Amino acid sequence: MEGDISSLPTKRVAVVTGGNKGIGLEVCRQLAADGITVVLTARDETRGVEAAEKLRGMGLSCVIFHHLEVTDSSSVSRLADFLTTRFGKLEILVNNAAVSGMEHAQRVDTNEEQFVGMDKQQRLEWLNKQGRETYDAAKNGVQTNYYGTKLVIQTLLPLLLQSSGEGRIVNVSSDAGLLRVGSSN
């Protein structure tokens, strides 16, 4: 579902993948607050629309939603076509969409009360105890986090190169996959 952009002024344009929550949502908020037109993308259309509406409710009218599944080349191509048709350019690409690569018994939001008072390492240890590493989950992690990011960059790079020398790519990553060796004590 695309947002109504008829009233958006011609200015810098940014795409944020995985923009419906967490870091991605905050990146969208900050870019829009700086006057940049933000195309917030998410694979879950309902959550993406809600996130864009939330930001517009904060007075950030230059935020629109576009559905995107980073692992689906036709979905990424539709985003590129949308950007080309509506804006003819792209200055900023923030690759934030990612999955954990683990199966969890329940959906966990690291902003929940159970994590209050935990540092990053404690949260990761708790999450690792709650999840299982399976072949399918790991495969999905690589497909989304590596190949999905690569596909989005390859597809949108021509638009970034058309920008007036200001094209930027930001890849958001996590240290959740780092091996912790030894104790910090």
| pTM exceeds cut of 0.85 | no
Residue 32 domain-assigned (yes or no): yes
For residue 67, the domain's CATH number is 3.40.50.720
Q: Which of 82-86's residues contact partners 24+ apart within 8 Å by CB, and which partners? A: 82/2, 82/39, 83/13, 83/15, 83/39, 83/156, 83/159, 84/159, 86/5
Residue 87: its pLDDT value, please?
95
Residue 181: its pLDDT value, please?
45
The pair of three-digit structure tokens given for residue 86, joined into one six-digit string: 């509506």
Per this entry, what is the length of the chain?
Answer: 185
Residue 33 domain-assigned (yes or no): yes
Residue 114 domain-assigned (yes or no): no
Residue 147 domain-assigned (yes or no): yes
Residue 74: its pLDDT value, please?
98
Residue 124: its pLDDT value, please?
74
Q: Which domain does 86 fall in, by range?
A: 13-99+140-171
Residue 133 domain-assigned (yes or no): no
Pick left, alpha or beta for residue 182 (phi over 0 → left; psi -120 to 50 → alpha; otherwise beta).
left
Segments of the chain with pLDDT less than 50: 1, 5-9, 180-185
Count: domains in the chain:
1
Residue 159 domain-assigned (yes or no): yes
Residue 110: its pLDDT value, please?
54
Residue 106 domain-assigned (yes or no): no
Residue 8: its pLDDT value, please?
47
Residue 181 domain-assigned (yes or no): no
